[in-house]
């Protein structure tokens, strides 16, 4: 599948995810993109729980989570790891946004970011309140990531439309 174009409907999906709650509880539930209508969603696809670049990326998003929330946005991290791996990673780094498990790689395929034999391309998509892709960054090499500043600027521009 090709990467969705700006202005195209975002491929819908439902995935299991884990979210750390207050007191360190881990809540496991299903997350559906279509259920987020009315709220922009930042989909952060990252190659692996605990790798150095992924840890920097997700920790930076977590540190700026209030900035995302102030713009009305929700952040979801997505990769192939299972919920146990996600929970362990979230606990170790105290991540406070959902990590979703695309263990069958269906969502990565739907977003056109699978790299056969290597996993996935580090990617970020901003999906608006109507379920439309409004911004994206798909890395050719997964050694860098889009920082919170860039993403929140795009969210702020979206809010002004």
Catalytic residue chosen out of the listed positions 18, 54, 90, 100: 54
- pLDDT, one tens digit per residue, over 119-155 is 899 999 999 999 999 999 998 776 778 899 999 999 9
Of 143, 157, 133, 142, give the one whose Cα is nearest residue 43.
133
- pLDDT, one tens digit per residue, over 58-85 is 999 999 999 999 999 999 999 999 999 9
Contacts with 160 (C-beta within 8 Å, 6 or more apart), sequence order: none
Look-up: residue for tokens 């670049």?
Answer: 53
- pLDDT, one tens digit per residue, over 17-62 is 999 988 879 999 999 999 999 999 999 999 999 888 999 999 999 9
- 102 burial (CB, 10 Å; 0-12 / 13-18 / 19+) is buried
93 backbone dihedrals φ, ψ, rounded to 5°: -105, 0
Q: Is 54 a catalytic residue?
A: yes
**Does the pTM exceed 0.85?**
yes
Of 95, 69, 74, give the one whose Cα is nearest residue 31.
74
């Amino acid at each position: 599948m090709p990467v969705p174009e700006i202005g195209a409907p975002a491929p819908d999906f439902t995935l299991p995810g884990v979210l750390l709650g207050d007191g360190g509880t881990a809540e496991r539930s299903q997350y559906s993109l279509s259920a987020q209508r009315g709220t922009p969603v930042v989909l952060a696809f990252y190659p692996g729980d605990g790798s150095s670049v992924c840890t920097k990326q997700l920790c930076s998003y977590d540190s700026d989570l209030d900035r995302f929330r102030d713009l009305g946005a929700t952040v979801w991290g997505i990769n192939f790891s299972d919920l146990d791996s996600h929970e362990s990673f979230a606990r170790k780094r105290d991540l406070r946004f959902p990590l979703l498990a695309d263990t069958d790689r269906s969502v990565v395929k739907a977003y056109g970011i699978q790299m056969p034999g290597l996993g996935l391309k580090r990617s970020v998509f901003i999906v608006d309140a109507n379920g439309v892709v409004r911004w994206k960054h798909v890395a050719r090499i997964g050694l860098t990531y889009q920082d919170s500043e860039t993403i929140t600027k795009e969210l702020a521009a979206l809010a002004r439309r």
